[in-house]
Structure 1
Amino acid sequence: MLDRYDRGLHDQRVTLLPGVRSRTVDTDRIRMHVLESGPDDGIPVVLVHGNLSTGRFFEHLMPHVPDRYRVLAPDMRSFGRSEPAPLDATRGLADWADDLDALLRALGVDAPPHLTGWSTAGAAITRFALDRPVASLTLLDPVSPFGYGAVRRDGTPVFDDHAGSGAGGTNPEVVSRLASGDSSDESPFSIRSVMRSSYWSPSFTLPADREDVLVDEVLLSVIGDGGYPGDRAASPNWPGFGPGTSGILNALSPKYCRWDAIVGLGPKPPILWTHGTADLVVADGSMLEFGTLGAAGVVPGWPGAEVFPPQPMVTQIRDVLERYAAAGGLVRIEMFDGSGHGPHVDAAEHWLTVFLDFLAGAVDQP
């Protein structure tokens, strides 16, 4: 773990795009690596990556953001070049939210930030907002407000022990190839192949040099109980596993992860929700979720839709944001037709235009 961290810090191949800076910051929690662009006294905008990624997944956007903004794209714990501290899954994504707060304080950022959270980080930035002032929230293909897997539309778990969610559902070959540093495309379970098939639309092709950069970034991830995927726990309920207590996939279990409490926030920051219509990761009927896998016959023994229905993730996000709007919050929804889980990459120009328009409105609102 430490060897991989040290190797990342001293990787001489890292060349950033023009206008993007890199540094490592000691906070009162962990040491964090962060990319920056814009002036130090600019309006703070923080771009928070998701699972199996780093701040560099936003790097291509940063040179195109107006100079009125100070853009920060940190590597969160367990990923990239930040300190490889373990993630306490029983806190959901609160470790990430607290780390982010510590980073902003260490950098002297006093103004409420504009936060963007991709996928997993949607839960992290909403947790941040529940405890601290924020200027706006951008939810970029976020995890459901009721966590990932084994949960009904209204947020109730299918089993009391939350069986069917957590690290136990991870494909072991994906984990082993990550641990071995496999950067090839020889297997559908290598990170390069997974990125092509599920991070973006299959019709989208990253430039080869950029794909190499992002593959290398993911391979800096901490693999194991405290990182990806986390520790495994058995369950007497189908499909035989439940959430453990450490690591990223357990933190996403509905047992620990829930962000629908934003409906009760006051004052309510404006929210932008952007989502790829071809997202295979966060979807109604995602093939990464065991209700869908069971219904499709991929995992035997499925107890049926009455017991374990597929999770309607996008519907759940829409339900909660409609409640937020009904309670007085401003919500803007933008669906990116044909985009996958990362429209900020496979529809970068369009996504950035929408984001900057939303940001300007949030900054300039009375």
Structure 2
Amino acid sequence: MTLFDGITERRVQTPRLTVGLLEREGDDPTTPPEQTVVLIHGNGSSSLFWQELMQDLPTDLRVIAIDLRGYGASEHAPIDATRGVRDFSDDVRATLEVLGVPTAHFVGWSMGAGVIMQYALDHPVLSLTLESPVSPYGFGGTRRDGSRLTDDDAGVGGGAGNAEFAARMEANDMSDEAPVSPRNVFRAHYVAEGYATDHEDVWVQSINSTSTAEGNYPGDSVPSDNWPGFAAGTIGVLNTLAPKYFDVSGIVGLADKPPILWVHGLKDVIVSDSSFYDLNNLGAMGVVPGWPGDEVAAVQPMVTQTRDVLDAYEAAGGQSRELALEDTGHTPHLERPIEFRRALLEVIGYVGQPASPAPPTEQIVLRSSD
């Protein structure tokens, strides 16, 4: 069973496309926005990944987990990457309008964090929780200040996708026979060593729900005169985060600044200052041959970029808190559910939170503007 106790799935017809979402049995659709939480997943996943958190959140909240286009139960419509992640964020807006939700507290994981930052640039939000967020300057191809390394974003986008991984998702591979099987990618890259769960089959099924149709994952690429010989195309998931299309650092200039919670694992190998998914880092490591050096193909300091932007957000009058978790990978809401839940309830200002055992203090690094 892919749906946990108390979780229901339905499809919503919007003017843009049909959207799948998860809700909780008994949640009141008239719940005010101040008690509504919207969950947005990342790449290579779906709303199924949120179910444990949905079960754990207080019952007087309304919780909605939305499948982005090309994932889970949502329509596999093509993605115009030249709009950055706006196809995704506009889909979320259209869904919430059908549901009668004018605003809410938003939680975004990985690419989903980029989606909710874009959403906040276009629409009012009550708070943002950024879990293992993509850098505000996109994925790959930028210096610390967000400036682009090349005019065509060489080494970024659809060409960086792993063809065998995509083929195994398309075949609904549930095995652990190959290093790039979805199950082994989950074990090696989504979570840190030592994570154990009875729900791994559900997480792998969620990964496999990723559409590999044209215009979805991974996206196209174009030839480049710059190393490693390709650059970002114009359609598909990975191209949405190319820096020429994606830059949400403008949240610093929001007139109304929602409180921001940033949660990330210190053993995250996907979003990192030395990401295993950054072609420039793989080149520097000798995994991809011919790396031209740091001056031409610098490794993207993804975490540092997020910290810099949130520092600027605070300097401009906003509030942010960083929760950095040791021995934790790319999925803190799965790996450290108590800490994640507590921090989320704090940032949304939930009153009446039940007490839970305090985690070991040495496991957490806190940073707050408060």
Partner residue in 1 for 2:48: 56
- CA distance in 2: counterparts of 1:83 and 1:205, whole angstroms: 32
**1:154-203 CA deviation, whole Å, 9 max, x = no partner?**
11111111101001012221122122221100001100000010111122
Task: Give 1:1-366 correspondences, 5 Å limit.
Answer: 13-14=1-2, 16-37=3-24, 38-42=27-31, 43-110=35-102, 112-207=103-198, 210-360=199-349
| AA in 1 matched with 2:197 | L
- CA distance in 2: counterparts of 1:361 and 1:32, whole angstroms: 28
- CA distance in 1: counterparts of 2:107 and 2:215, whole angstroms: 24
Structure 1 residue 61, shift from structure 2 partner: 1.0
Structure 2 unpaired stretches of 5+: 354-370
- CA distance in 2: counterparts of 1:186 and 1:234, whole angstroms: 33
RMSD: 1.5
Structure 1 residue 363, shift from structure 2 partner: 12
- CA distance in 1: counterparts of 2:113 and 2:209, whole angstroms: 22
| AA in 2 matched with 1:250 | N
| AA in 2 matched with 1:333 | E
TM-score by length of 2: 0.91
C-alpha contact (below 8 Å) 1:135/1:269 kept by paired residues: yes
- CA distance in 1: counterparts of 2:214 and 2:5, whole angstroms: 37
Structure 1 residue 357, shift from structure 2 partner: 2.0
- CA distance in 1: counterparts of 2:291 and 2:352, whole angstroms: 49
Q: 1:36 to 1:182 in 2, by over 3 A?
A: same
- CA distance in 2: counterparts of 1:237 and 1:109, whole angstroms: 46
- CA distance in 2: counterparts of 1:18 and 1:180, whole angstroms: 28
Structure 1 residue 213, shift from structure 2 partner: 1.3
C-alpha contact (below 8 Å) 1:54/1:80 kept by paired residues: yes
TM-score by length of 1: 0.92
What number of residue pairs does the alignment pair up?
348
**1:318-341 CA deviation, whole Å, 9 max, x = no partner?**
000000000000101111111100
C-alpha contact (below 8 Å) 1:224/1:230 kept by paired residues: no
- CA distance in 1: counterparts of 2:352 and 2:294, whole angstroms: 45
- CA distance in 2: counterparts of 1:323 and 1:288, whole angstroms: 27
Q: 1:244 to 1:290 in 2, by over 3 A?
A: same
- CA distance in 2: counterparts of 1:159 and 1:65, whole angstroms: 44
C-alpha contact (below 8 Å) 1:39/1:67 kept by paired residues: no
Structure 1 residue 18, shift from structure 2 partner: 2.5
Q: 1:299 to 1:363 in 2, by over 3 A?
A: farther
C-alpha contact (below 8 Å) 2:127/2:347 kept by paired residues: no
**1:244-300 CA deviation, whole Å, 9 max, x = no partner?**
111110111112111100000011011000010100000001121012111111111
- CA distance in 1: counterparts of 2:328 and 2:197, whole angstroms: 13
- CA distance in 1: counterparts of 2:178 and 2:46, whole angstroms: 23
- CA distance in 2: counterparts of 1:164 and 1:149, whole angstroms: 8
- CA distance in 2: counterparts of 1:306 and 1:342, whole angstroms: 32
Instruction: Please state whether the residue corresponding to 1:150 is helix, strand or coil.
Output: coil
Structure 1 residue 361, shift from structure 2 partner: 5.8
Q: Which runs of 4+ in 1 moved over 4 A?
A: 361-364
Structure 1 residue 64, shift from structure 2 partner: 1.6
| AA in 1 matched with 2:265 | G
- CA distance in 2: counterparts of 1:310 and 1:76, whole angstroms: 29
**1:5-41 CA deviation, whole Å, 9 max, x = no partner?**
xxxxxxxx54x22322221111111111111123212
Structure 1 residue 134, shift from structure 2 partner: 0.5
**1:19-72 CA deviation, whole Å, 9 max, x = no partner?**
222211111111111111232122221010000100110011112211231100
